[in-house]
Amino acid sequence: MAQTQTHDIPLIAVIGGGPAGLMAAETLLNAGLRVALYERMPSVGRKFLMAGKSGLNLTHSEVQASFVARYGEAMPWLRPILESFGPQAVRDWAGGLGVDTFIGSSGRVFPTEMKAAPLLRAWVRRLRGQGAVFHMRHRWTGWDSAGALLFETPAGELSVRPAATVLALGGGSWPQLGSDAAWMDILAGKGVPCAALRPSNCGFDIAWSEHFRSRFAGHPVKPVSLGFEGRSLRGEFVITETGIEGSGVYAHSAALVATLDRGEPAALTLDLAPDTSLDRLTEQLRRPRGSQSMSNHLRKVAGIEGVKAGLLREYLPAEAWAAPDELARAIKALSLPVQAPRPIAEAISTSGGISQPALAETLMLKDMAGYFCAGEMLDWDAPTGGYLLTACLALGKAAGQAAADWAAANRE
C-alpha cells in the first residue's frame, strides 16, 4: 500500500499566534493537514500570557443559557460555535495538556497553578510534536501580484500560496503585544466590510478634582454596586489618575461606550453601601452625632470612610452633609459621570472588526474563497470572566475545522 507523501498533504496557513490561531492550528493538525503558523512577534501567545499574569481566567462555569447570553447581539451566530466548544470543553482541553482547573467562588474557572505560561508551553510543545511549523517575526502585509500571501520577514519578503488560510490576527488592544489591527486596512482594500474598532472592557476618564486625584488615585472602591441603564451589578473598581477602571466598570463598558458614541451623557450609579437598605441607612444617619465630626459619624453608623467618603465629598454640595435623608440617597445612588473611554491601546479587548454578514456560517469570507477568520478580528463583544478566551478558542476551532473541510473538498 502506497504511503502518503508529505507534499501531497495540503498546507494551511494560520496567521496569528494568539489563542484563536493556535486552536485553529491544532484543529487542522488533528484533521491530518500540514500547518504553517505565522506570527509577527518573536513568540506566540504574548497577550495570553499578559492576561494570565494575575491568574488565567480560562472560562466560566455558569449554565449554558446564561453563558451564551453574555455575548449580546452576537449571541445568535455565536451560539452554535459556543455549544460545540463551550466551558466544559475548554476544561477538558486544558486537562489534555496536563493542566488541572478549578472553579473559583465567582464561578470563574482557573488553572490550579493560576498561571498561563505552563499551559502555553505545553500547548506549543504539543503543536510542534504534531508537525506545526512556526514562523516568528513574519508580518503579513497582504498579497503579491500573483495573489500569494506576502510577509515581511527578517530575511526579506516571503510569498506563500497555501491551500487555505485562517486569519486570527486579534483586535486592536495591547498593540505592543502584537494585535495592532493593521489587517483592517488590508482587508478593506479587498472590500471586506469591517466595523470600526472600539475599546471594550476598558476604563473611563472622569474629571476628578486635583484634591481627589492626588489623595485617592490607586485606591480600590469595594464593596460597591455599579448600575447603568437599569442594570446593576455588584463588583469593585479602582480610582486612577484619569478616571476609573476595574471589573465592575468593565461589566458596563460596552453600554457606556455605545452611549458616549451617540453623543449622549453617561453616568454610572454607585451604591456605596450595597449591604444596607436605604431605609436602614437613613435611620442610621438620622441618629444624633453629638460632637462627632460627620466623617466619624459616617464611618461609625454607615461604614463609609476613605475613598467612599471622598467620592461623596467630590459630588455632593456641602449642605447635603447636614441632611441625613439626602446623604443616604446619595450613598445608595451616587451619580458618577464619565467623559470618555480610555484609548483602545489600554483596553482589555475591542469590539468591532469584520462584520458578521461578510462571513458564511463556516467563518469563510463570502467574497474570498479559502479565507477563514477567527477570534477578536470578528465583530463581537463579551465581558471579562472567561468569556473572551472561550469564544476565541471556540472560534479558532470552528475556523480550523471549516478550513480543513474546505481544503478536503477542493483538493486537486
Q: Write the CA distances from 57 to 60, 388, 397, integer angstroms.
A: 8, 10, 19
Is the CATH number of domain 8-199+348-409 3.50.50.60? yes
Task: Answer whether residue 5 shows pLDDT above 50.
Answer: no
SS3 per residue for 89-151: HHHHHHHHCCCCEEECCCCEEEECCCCCHHHHHHHHHHHHHCCCEEEECCEEEEECCCCCEEE
pLDDT tens sequence across 100-146: 999 998 899 999 999 999 999 999 999 999 999 999 999 999 999 99
Look at strands 371-373 and 164-167 and give their pairing.
parallel
Q: What is the mean pLDDT of the chain?
A: 93
pLDDT tens sequence across 359-383: 999 999 999 999 999 999 999 999 9
User: Mean pLDDT, to the nearest integer, of 8-26?
Assistant: 95
Task: Answer whether residue 54 shows pLDDT above 80.
Answer: no
Whole-number CA gyration radius for the chain: 25
Residue type at position 235:
G
Q: Which residues contact 265 (CB under 8 A, 6 or more apart)?
A: 259, 337
Cβ count within 10 A of residue 325 = 13
Task: Answer whether residue 3 shows pLDDT above 60.
Answer: no
User: Mean pLDDT, to the nearest integer, of 176-192?
Assistant: 94
Q: What is the pLDDT of residue 169?
A: 97
Give the percent of the chain with pLDDT over 70.
Answer: 98
Task: Answer whether residue 87 shows pLDDT above 60.
Answer: yes
CATH 3.50.50.60-classified regions of the chain: 8-199+348-409
Q: What is the pLDDT of residue 7?
A: 57
pLDDT tens sequence across 199-219: 999 999 999 999 999 999 999
Please report which confidence band the pLDDT of residue 412 belongs to, taking 50, 70 and 90 as the band edges.
low
Q: What is the pLDDT of residue 2?
A: 34
Task: Answer whether residue 6 shows pLDDT above 90.
Answer: no
Helix (H, G, I), strand (E, B) or coil at 278: helix
Gap between the Cα atoms of 218 and 101, Å rounded:
31
